[in-house]
Amino acid sequence: MSSLEEQLKDAVKAKGAARRGNLKNFNTILMKFPKIEAGFSDCKDVFKAIDDDNSNSIELSEMKAATQKLGLSFSEDKMEQIFNLADFDSDKHITFREFIVALTMLHLLSGVEFSATNEQHPTFVQAVEVVVDAFVFFDKNGDGTIQHEELNEAMAGNASNQEIAARFKEMDFKNSGVIQFIQFLYVFEDWVGMDEDE
């Protein structure tokens, strides 16, 4: 795990510790899907504005310019690390869903309120908070990752063992045996109905 991934893990754990217990059961998470989808979709105009060449993907240079417009100050190295972590297919471009992952990382790692996003896109910030709540709900031991046993416990009575195993495999696309927040977020976007072409 890179130092940036450790920082993100710590940020999620800290935010999650303050929010633990906000979601009482799996059905509560399901009820929040429309709110999450609306919050993430609200950022589509930001994505389009950043996508200078209308390629439906963002390059690192476009992402750097966007963070400056949002008033965020990250070093060149950290910005590149965030971009690379969000670029799941390593093609040097991030799609809209990968952009949501990058924007969420920027929000969680900024250490301050994400004022430009809070003011212009409050539904995005609310969506991030709900996703953190959902991650914390599944992360029963609070270590910043989700193990298979934790997913079993959280989804017991709501899904079969086969469905739970399939969900875990879907989120553990790095085959590490644990699910990190950014993996959870990326797959969660699909669960709530996010589409690249929306």
* Blockwise average pLDDT, block size 10, the chain, 198 residues: 89 80 77 87 83 90 78 82 94 94 87 50 82 90 93 89 94 93 92 69
The helix/strand/coil state of 81 is helix
Predicted local distance difference test score (pLDDT) of residue 156: 86
Predicted local distance difference test score (pLDDT) of residue 117: 46
Contact indicator for 138, 63 with CB cutoff of 8 Å: no
18 forms beta bridges with none
Residues in contact with 25: Cβ distance below 8 Å, sequence separation at least 6, in sequence order? none
d(CA 98, CA 187) in angstroms, rounded, equals 10
pTM reported for the whole predicted model? 0.86
Predicted local distance difference test score (pLDDT) of residue 119: 56
**Amino acid sitting at position 161:** N
Two tokens at 118? Answer: 């809070």
Q: List helix spans (H) across 20-95.
A: 26-41, 44-50, 60-69, 76-86
Contact indicator for 189, 100 with CB cutoff of 8 Å: yes
What are phi and psi for residue 146, nearest 5 degrees?
-115, 120
Question: What is the DSSP code (8-state) at residue 169?
Answer: H
Predicted local distance difference test score (pLDDT) of residue 121: 59
Predicted local distance difference test score (pLDDT) of residue 111: 60
Among residues 83, 5, 91, 94, the alpha carbon closest in space to that of 56 is found at 94
